[in-house]
Amino acid sequence: MLIDLHSHTTASDGQLSPKELVNRAENRQVHMLAITDHDTVDGLLDAKKAITDNKLNLTLINGIEISTNWLNHEIHVIGVNIDPSSIALTSLITEQKEKRQARAIEMGLRLSKANIPNAYEGAKSLAGDGAITRAHFARYLIQIGVGSSNKKIFQHYLSKGNTGYVPHHWVNLDHAISIIHQAKGEAILAHPTHYNLSNKWIRSLLSSFKSLGGDAMEVAMGQQEPSKRLQLALWSNEYGLKASQGSDFHFVGQWRDLGKSLALPDITTPIWIKWPIFSQLTKSIG
Ligand code: AMP
Ligand code: MN
Ligand code: MN
Ligand code: MN
């Protein structure tokens, strides 16, 4: 059974609409898919509707990826099986949306001082009604020829210490975990190896995440060295966190795809193992 618990749509910085995303997931024979847009649940309704209308053989897990602050690091936390209408979650989303908006305007100002005008307007028009992210700025900067790849644009303009970087003010990690729990969901630490942290710091993060009530951590991601996956699996056991897997799909590219190259090492405890929906699916498809 193919399970993918991390993906994005046009509700944030993904390039497929919720409807296109669920269709692609079904085509790729994913059985269970979480949509986890950055600080928003806006894509979930359309995705659900597309599944029902087209009778897709796909179970949607309601999710979100929340940007948080931990000791001044930007750490992403995924909530799965959340109630999207939870009042606590809704008010957190409103707060984060305002922060994203203010940060985007400030990024535009900083970039214009560096002789790159209209970056806010360009990014905003790419984001449309969706949550505006640095990925939209990157796409705009590539469009106008400032750089040739996402990687370079982040390296030179958008990551910490660069011209277009604005210090973040995201919600604290402990608060995000508590809000996910109030919304009846489970909290997963996203991509622990993507924060530019040394192993010592990753361990410290895992230990904090666990002691703050975190439930699981991502162990299997697309595009990952087997030794790294195994290391994460060992850590998930050591820190008593369940294991999750997700592609972090944003667009159709050469390497990443929904459900692609995702499998948890046997030593882990998958986060979905006790989910009623998982037993039902196991019974129906084996
Ligand atoms: P934000 O949440 O607005 O800070 O935007 C973060 C998003 O930008 C991430 O979810 C990725 O999609 C993208 N991103 C961050 N860092 C990089 C990078 N080094 N290269 C490419 N994309 C990145
Ligand atoms: Mn993203
Ligand atoms: Mn992330
Ligand atoms: Mn993501």
Which domain CATH number covers 44? 3.20.20.140
Per-residue pLDDT at 254: 83
In a domain, 263, yes or no: yes
Q: Is the pLDDT of residue 237 over 90?
A: yes
Mean pLDDT of 24-29: 98
Write out pLDDT tens, residues 41-61: 999 999 999 999 999 999 999
Would the pLDDT of 270 be above 90?
A: yes
* pTM: predicted TM-score of the whole model, two decimal places: 0.98
CA 37 to centroid of ligand 1, rounded, Å: 12
For a mutational test of ligand 1's pocket, the pick from 6, 8, 13, i.e. the residue with the most ligand atoms closer than 8 A to its C-beta, is 13
Quick: pLDDT tens for 154-201: 999 999 999 999 999 999 999 999 999 999 999 999 999 999 999 999
Query: What is the model's pLDDT at position 223?
Result: 86
Q: What is the pLDDT of residue 58?
A: 98
Per-residue confidence at 255, pLDDT binned at 50, 70, 90?
A: confident
Can you give the pLDDT at residue 273? 97
Mean pLDDT value of segment 113-133:
97
Q: Is 197 contained in some domain?
A: yes
In a domain, 43, yes or no: yes
**pLDDT recorded at residue 286:** 67
Mean pLDDT in residue range 112-134: 97
Tell me the two tokens of residue 276.
Answer: 């009623």
As a whole number of angstroms, the distance between CA 29 and CA 31 comes to 6
- CA 118, 122, 127, 129 torsion-angle sign: positive
Which pLDDT belongs to residue 57? 96
Residue 93 lies in a domain: no
Q: Is residue 251 part of a domain?
A: yes
38 CB within 6 A, ligand 1: yes
Number of domains in the chain: 1
Domain region containing 192: 3-84+186-285
The CB of 13 under 6 Å from ligand 1? The reply is yes
DSSP string, 201-229: HHHHHHHHHHHTT--EEEEEESS--HHHH
Phi-psi region of 197 (alpha: psi -120 to 50; beta: other; left: phi over 0): beta
Q: Whole-angstrom Cα distance, residue 179 to residue 170?
A: 14
Q: E strands, the chain, where?
A: 2-4, 30-35, 59-70, 73-80, 171-172, 186-189, 216-221, 242-246
Report yes or no on 103 lying in a domain: no
Closest-CA residue to 228 (of 276, 189, 265): 265
Does a structural domain hold residue 121? no
From the alpha carbon of 150, which atom of ligand 1 is closest? 21
Identify whether 126 is part of a domain.
no
